[in-house]
Structure 1
Amino acid sequence: MLPLLDDIRLIAFDLDGTLIDSVPDLAAAVDAMLEDMACPPAGEAKVRDWVGNGSHLLVSRALADARGGEPDGQTLARAHAHFLSHYRAAPCARTRVFPGVREALEGLSARGLVLALITNKPAAFIDPILEALALRDYFQLTLGGDSLPEKKPHPAPLLHLATHFDIAPQHCLMVGDSRHDIEAGKRAGFRTLAVPYGYNHGEPVATSAPDGLVESLQELV
């Protein structure tokens, strides 16, 4: 096990870009939403740089790119409803688990560590995706972007986890692929670990100065 895990009792994982590559399904839903809004498709490459801050901001970024300006509230609400409808219909058609993830979750669970999930994805999508990918049983608690009043990079979801399991933040680790994961971890007093293969708005996640970085989560075990 990595030295970074010394005295760690709880590990919180991000989902999209850390455990799973969900962009193909997200991009399909975004493009379907854009078609509903009489806009040209965005494509996977653009969507890959837009994910990570929740579905409202994803839809807002897509509309702003297609229309050349920020959408008003009514337009955003209508587009967001279209997006959720399309994504709900097929949230896991082409989504895949990154290499090394299953091995890491299996090994960490076997060592008795508490594993949790903190994502900015709406909570309603978490269990269907985890069940479809046979990952649900690894996590003792999952939090979505709408589970609490605040979401990452705010530290509140992480501190909620620590309080829920009665584990001090210094014995907790946040694992993610973006600057928002690292910022949330630091603000909560967690140790932080990053993976470089995910979605970080086109920036190297190393620039956020995580406590550690691994090419594959399998390095955790």
Structure 2
Amino acid sequence: MTMTHFKPRLIVFDLDGTLVDSSPDIAIAINQMLSELNQATYSEQEIKQWLGFGATKLINCALTGELEPKIEPANLRQAMRLYFNFYSANICVNSQLYAGAKEGLEQLKLAGIKLACVTNKPALLTLPLLTEIGIKDYFQFIASGDTFQRMKPDPLPLLEAAKAIAVDPEQALMVGDSINDIQAGKNAGFKTAIVPYGYIGKYSIDELGADYQINTIEHLAKLVC
């Protein structure tokens, strides 16, 4: 499906896996945490499949080695404290913007389209990453995994973004790389777009059922501007 007949007034972006490839720094912090706890470490590729569900789920997966942990590990709190310390200290060392991300944001901003960032990453990590990588000022609204009582795939953060910017959900587009992003968008009544890179997890792009597929954020800008 093309965007010929859909011109969004608001575009909400996921962060990790959509705008920023943050997995190198996340993987290093996770493995530092595991080493400190005398547990086995994992490859970046293995850790990537656990991303997109918030820090608690990520650390649960790392501690158990399971994609769907059945129990909460006894050392979860200690592990989270270690992870936040390690990651906060090195949040933007190897992380990079995906090709076309900043260029696309700039074009969308110049076109007068309102932009928001809604991520499941905790706020204490979200804002430093957006700032250090140089894209924080593109967004009129930013919500993290702990901004509201519920996070993606719940529609609440997206609906709050639309409300804050005074745009009807039918005039908004959610852009992401994972099942949580697409489900949140659909649950909120937004149109949805998927990028072919990022941390898609166990699903194929077709299985996610997004309304649109885009190659890059710059490609998106060319379609809607």
* TM-score interval, normalised by the smaller of the two chains: over 0.9
Q: Which runs of structure 2 are paired with 1:137-176 in the superposition (5 Å)?
A: 137-176=137-176
State the Cα deviation string for residues 88-117 of structure 1 (Å, max 9, x = none): 110111000000111110100001011000
CA distance in 2, matches of 1:132, 1:5: 36
CA distance in 2, matches of 1:5, 1:103: 23
CA distance in 2, matches of 1:167, 1:149: 22
Q: Which runs of structure 2 are paired with 1:16-27 in the superposition (5 Å)?
A: 16-27=16-27
1:77 aligns with 2:77: yes
Q: Which runs of structure 2 are paired with 1:52-71 in the superposition (5 Å)?
A: 52-65=52-65
Deviation at 1:205, TM superposition (A): 2.7
Deviation at 1:203, TM superposition (A): 2.2
Structure 2, unmatched stretches of 5+, are: none
Quote the residue 2:97 is aligned against.
97
Quote the residue 2:198 is aligned against.
198
- Contact 2:123–2:144, Cα closer than 8 Å, also in 1: yes
Quote the residue 2:40 is aligned against.
40
CA distance in 2, matches of 1:99, 1:194: 15
Letter of the 1:192 counterpart: T
Quote the residue 1:212 is aligned against.
212
Structure 1, unmatched stretches of 5+, are: none
Deviation at 1:73, TM superposition (A): 5.3
**Identity %, equivalent residues:** 37
Higher mean Cα deviation, 72-81 or 7-16? 72-81
CA distance in 1, matches of 2:214, 2:73: 40
TM-score, normalised relative to structure 1? 0.94
Higher mean Cα deviation, 69-78 or 106-115? 69-78
CA distance in 2, matches of 1:139, 1:5: 25
Quote the residue 1:182 is aligned against.
182
Question: What SS is found at the alignment partner of 1:142?
Answer: strand
Deviation at 1:4, TM superposition (A): 5.6
User: How many positions carry a matched residue from both structures?
Assistant: 218
Question: What SS is found at the alignment partner of 1:50?
Answer: coil
CA distance in 2, matches of 1:32, 1:205: 32
CA RMSD of aligned residues (A): 1.5
Higher mean Cα deviation, 132-141 or 114-123? 132-141
State the Cα deviation string for residues 118-138 of structure 1 (Å, max 9, x = none): 000001112211121111111
- Contact 2:11–2:113, Cα closer than 8 Å, also in 1: yes
4+ long deviations beyond 4 Å: none
CA distance in 2, matches of 1:134, 1:43: 28
